[in-house]
């Protein structure tokens, strides 16, 4: 996995959560809580309040 140093937690608003979708079971389990879960293999960013 590529470590994106451009994205820092400091740049992310506290009341917004950046969710990246990966083939990792942990991410897939978390995305189940989203209203629009992506398909397997897709990588998207979600902003949840």
pLDDT on residue 49: 39
pLDDT on residue 2: 54
Tens digit of each residue's pLDDT (9 = 90 or more) over 10-34 = 554 444 455 555 545 555 445 555 5
pLDDT on residue 15: 46
Q: At CA 40, angle to CA 35 and CA 41, rounded to 5?
A: 125
1-36 exposure pattern, b = at least 16 Cβ within 10 A, e = fewer: eeeeeeeeeeeeeeeeeebebeeeeeeeebbeeeee
* Model confidence, pTM: 0.14
């Amino acid at each position: 996995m590529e470590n994106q140093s451009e994205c820092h937690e400091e740049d992310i608003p506290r009341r917004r959560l950046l969710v990246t979708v990966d083939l990792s079971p942990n991410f897939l389990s978390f995305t189940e809580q989203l209203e629009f879960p992506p398909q397997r293999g897709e990588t998207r960013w979600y902003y949840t309040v």
